[in-house]
Amino acid sequence: MPYQILNVESVLDYVRRRPESRTALDPEKELDAVEVGDGNLNLVFKVSQVDDSSRTVLVKQALPHVRVAEDWKLSPIRGRFEALSLQAFHALAPGSVPEPLWYDDEQYTIGMENLVGFEVIRQPMMEGRDIPELGNFVGTAMAKVHFGTSDFATDSAEKRRSLAPYTANTELCRITEDLIFTEPFHVAQERNHWVPEIDDDVARLQADQGLKREVAALKLAFMTRAEALLHGDLHTGSIMAKDRAIRIIDSEFAFYGPVGFDLGLFIGNLLMNAAAQVAHAPTESARRNYRDYVRNQVVTTMESYERVLREAFASVSSPSWQAPGFLDAFLLSVLRDTCGFAGAEMVRRTVGFAHVKDIDDIVDPALRGVVQRQVLAIARRLLHIHRHVETLDDVLTAAQEALEF
Ligand code: SR1
Ligand code: MG
């Protein structure tokens, strides 16, 4: 059947035609669908049995354009990269993602477990709610996926074969190159936008030639350093939680790149949450407590990542990777990349096309300006120092100079 954009009616028949949906619901029963997509790119439907809403499946279809900007055309084949990476995450870090049920490369549509009762963590984190074990979960899952798809765990030929399909994810990689590494750092870019309160800060940022050199190096690393399979868009809108359960979603930006990119995006989003607490936390002590919590998640993300990687390295077979000091040096390079990528993410969420709710939802423009100024100050500092940090403490201390944790 030719590609057709689904709606709340047609998705019902679509699900009935997919035999794999039977593991999640009874297609003979009356079904109901709601569209729940709130990301920038895709349609997302929850399809459930009317007589038992716990029998349900999630259907995600890639549109031929950006969902939030219809004139921005984009091939729906990105569904393929999300499906492939979802399967890889599911295999290498079981329980880290919703269970994949099918992928339909004609309709660019994925069927997967509907995470009933889960919520995207960005909003609860804005409200100052703890997500138990968040850092440990993300650090552990990403270390498993990164290690399992890296040259440390796979034979050279197998790694190249696994990487090959993702080289076609050109459009989404290009979006990242433009939106994260290029446009925010340059004047007269149509898609950039910011509030007038930070005009001077943005002018200083875009005139900082040293900063541009650092960002250019990070962009080149993103474009050329195929260390492992990345999620590619690991912000707090790509993670869902329910009580103590956590899942990573929305990996359509997946490709093989530098592993610090995933960690940096995640940590950059944690730092932006911490900065925004001045507006969201009801009292000063609530703000301090939540910032401590967030700081702790940054620490546990990196500690868990390192622990899992060190454990996995015990089984590497090539003597190259067993060279004394090699793993320490690799982990230091991951930390430095993480620091730089976090800075780039924070800049683009303040100045570039796609912002974050944590900051955009601050109603008082003066206060929003204060937060954005802090975010830019932290980001510039992280970008300037990233190649020289020795420990995570160096990163946190630098962030702390602009933001009291
Ligand atoms: C046009 S896409 C804009 C942003 O939304 C996605 O979630 C990615 O973060 C991308 O950079
Ligand atoms: Mg997304």
pLDDT in tens, 304-321: 999 999 999 999 999 999
CA distance 373 to 197: 9
Q: Is the CB of 5 under 6 A from ligand 1?
A: no
Residues 340-368 as b/e (b if ≥16 CB within 10 A, e otherwise) read bbbbbbbbbbbbbbbbbebbeebeeeeeb
Q: What pLDDT score does 191 carry?
A: 96
Residue 374, strand partner residues? none
Average pLDDT over residues 77-93: 98
Q: pLDDT band for 68, please (50, 70, 90 cuts).
A: confident
Chain center to CA of 221: 18
Q: Are 24 and 57 in contact (CB under 8 A)?
A: yes
Average pLDDT over residues 107-136: 98
Q: pLDDT band for 1, please (50, 70, 90 cuts).
A: confident
Q: pLDDT band for 404, please (50, 70, 90 cuts).
A: low
Q: What pLDDT score does 40 carry?
A: 84
Q: Whose CA is nearest to atom 4 of ligand 1?
A: 354
Nearest to 108 by CA among 72, 69, 73, 78: 78
Of all residues in the chain, the percent with pLDDT exceeding 70 is: 100
pLDDT tens digits for range 140-183: 999 999 999 999 999 999 999 999 999 999 999 999 999 999 99
CA distances, 41 to each of 44, 102, 135, 175 (Å)? 10, 20, 26, 12
Q: Is the CB of 233 under 6 A from ligand 1?
A: yes
pLDDT tens digits for range 13-53: 999 999 999 999 999 999 999 999 988 889 999 999 999 99
DSSP string spanning 153-204?
A: TS-HHHHHHHHGGGGG-HHHHHHHIIIIIIGGGSSS-TT----GGGHHHHHH
3-state secondary structure of 286: helix
Q: What pLDDT score does 322 carry?
A: 96
CA distance 379 to 374: 8
Q: Which two tokens stand for residue 157?
A: 């030929």
Closest atom of ligand 1 to CA, residue 74 = 1
Q: Is the CB of 66 under 6 A from ligand 1?
A: yes
Average pLDDT over residues 235-251: 97
Q: Whose CA is nearest to atom 11 of ligand 1?
A: 176
The count of C-alpha atoms lying within 13 angstroms of the C-alpha of 345, restricted to the half-sphere facing its C-beta, is 27
Q: What pLDDT score does 3 carry?
A: 96
Q: What pLDDT score does 39 carry?
A: 83
Report the amino acid identity of residue 212. Answer: K
Nearest to 57 by CA among 6, 114, 129: 114
Q: Is the CB of 77 under 6 A from ligand 1?
A: no
Q: pLDDT band for 299, please (50, 70, 90 cuts).
A: very high
Nearest to 248 by CA among 112, 153, 376: 112
